[in-house]
Structure 1
């Protein structure tokens, strides 16, 4: 793997540089930087963002020149990389992990003529916007499938960090499963990392040993799907279609697609029409999709999921529709009410059906 501390010129931009005089390239190409929290690999969170970067290049051609730095930890190193992009002439910087948020905010103040976009956070500024996908929509559908497919009625979930984004997914998965199988329970193990294949595998194996016959994860590697394939249980991939790592285990995956958003955003910046906003897209926006369904899923269940997907796309169904009750029996949402985006963004509880407890973060 190329040293992540070096800015990396993409293959297509490199080909362009070889074909055009350097001065012409410098005048015409808008330089865009991408900061990745994990290795690109061939599946997962960073892989999906890199596919989108390549889609951006293919769409805008010589108008843009993209660079990326992968495997950047959420800390001082992230601030350094973000600042180096801005200081070296990059006019747009995409920072693709929750833990980059405060660093993006700080650097954005120092470089008011650079446009910054941050994935999965909630802060913004004049030259600083954020974007996210409604992962929970796909998770609810995964839960419905899990509830139909489980025999043990124990589902396993490997989580990265107990932040609202991850809690939304766990709760939606649980609500989906309980909507078709009220007796299920979901067990969660935290690995405190977005990408650590060793810890992810160990957590999955532990959940399977506890009786989980369907597992999934909100982490970046394929380790959970691989563990499920090895142990003969079912799994859902995340971020990407991970079926090649578990052809029998992989039921489907909630996949995320950023290419159209990246191209649209860069076009707006180039046209001078971009304004900071909070983007949160789901099925109806094409930012969330399901990977192909495993033929092991009965036809009736596939039809059930397809019908729900159509309702999500049409905006006629919301996974967080009341009544919603937390683990302690407290009603968090009354019958018929729909949880708004503000409440979703502050989610700090598990719903009934999650057997594990949230870690004490106070």
Structure 2
């Protein structure tokens, strides 16, 4: 609720409120474009929960509709065009690869508002929004390092973009602080959602000795692979994935889009919508840490919760020096923290992570 109130206040401050619905608008029509199925149990599931929250909040003042399993690229542009032509007032495009298609279609429909998740290109009718997932990765890294018996942690990356690289680095930094002997192995799946590929990646990492699996892909397949292997733990990604608790899933990162979606639809209703960039984390509530189960020792759980609380309060930043780049050169001096501009374009590993980042 705190997050919703802060977003609403900021949104309303950007313009003068008009009547309950903008001039000539019977109801707001809000469209959602999804890269995966709403039943993926992860990323798309949580975005769809946000859509349902919009319906619950506004009732017959809003009409929502969605299209799932839309590939990034030309298919996305066609889907967006059709959605705009169907009368959408606001469209949420919920994957990084929708960035250019969103800009292209927005230029053709200047009266439609567009909201692009995890991107960095804006226009007068295009906003961007994302969550500081790396804050949750820091907490996961601590737990992973304390619970591994082999000192080998496997990490399934989707695409080598800054969002994913930030998460790998944040997890590794805090794992290394908790356990100096820990090693990370990264496998790139080159997909956001492909259960077969994700399962294969998890299995390969487990066969290499990893007994902890982290992921930046959208399905529950890595946790299923961990469960099958036995003596391997995993973490829910984007959604709680609680069906795998208390083991192998020992905690999770939960994306909470509902307050943001409610606030942005309300801004369209009020006639106060304007292009903004939002990047929130644990403190405002856009990133949640799922229950840390009793499979995690009590002292480790306490350390993880303390780290979460410090990040949430702003007392600690996950990228605080001294930190070096992978090549040994200084990145952040002692006590220095990374600025958002650097993090937004992060394209290197920190010192200690082996392997190259693919082009």
TM-score normalised by length of structure 2 = 0.91
Larger relative contact order, structure 1 or 2 (CA cutoff 8 Å, min sep 6): 2
Cα deviations by residue, 1:29-59 (Å, 9 ceiling, x for unpaired): 2111100001111511000000010001100
Q: How does 1:1-362 map to 2 (within 5 A)?
A: 28-41=26-39, 43-232=41-230, 233-245=232-244, 247-359=246-358, 361=359
Distance 2:331 2:218 in 1: 30
Deviating more after overlay: 303-312 vs 149-158: 303-312
Measured after TM superposition, the shift of residue 185 of structure 1 is 1.1
Deviating more after overlay: 132-141 vs 179-188: 179-188
Measured after TM superposition, the shift of residue 273 of structure 1 is 1.3
Q: Name the counterpart of 1:18.
A: none
Distance 1:27 1:62 in 2: 13
Structure 2 unaligned segments of length 5 or more: list them.
1-23
Measured after TM superposition, the shift of residue 245 of structure 1 is 3.3
Measured after TM superposition, the shift of residue 88 of structure 1 is 1.6
Q: Name the counterpart of 1:16.
A: none
- SS at the partner of 1:132? strand
Measured after TM superposition, the shift of residue 275 of structure 1 is 1.4
- SS at the partner of 1:112? coil
Measured after TM superposition, the shift of residue 190 of structure 1 is 0.5
Measured after TM superposition, the shift of residue 246 of structure 1 is 5.4
- SS at the partner of 2:237? strand
* RMSD, aligned CA: 1.2
Aligned length: 335
Distance 2:213 2:275 in 1: 38
Measured after TM superposition, the shift of residue 71 of structure 1 is 0.2
- SS at the partner of 1:285? coil
Distance 2:133 2:111 in 1: 32
Structure 1 unaligned segments of length 5 or more: list them.
1-25
Measured after TM superposition, the shift of residue 355 of structure 1 is 2.3
- SS at the partner of 1:194? coil
TM-score normalised by length of structure 1 = 0.91
- SS at the partner of 2:218? coil
Distance 2:134 2:240 in 1: 17
Distance 1:245 1:236 in 2: 9
**Kept after mapping to 1: 8 A contact 2:189/2:197:** yes
Distance 2:81 2:323 in 1: 43
Measured after TM superposition, the shift of residue 356 of structure 1 is 2.7
Measured after TM superposition, the shift of residue 27 of structure 1 is 5.8
- SS at the partner of 1:283? coil
Q: Name the counterpart of 1:10.
A: none
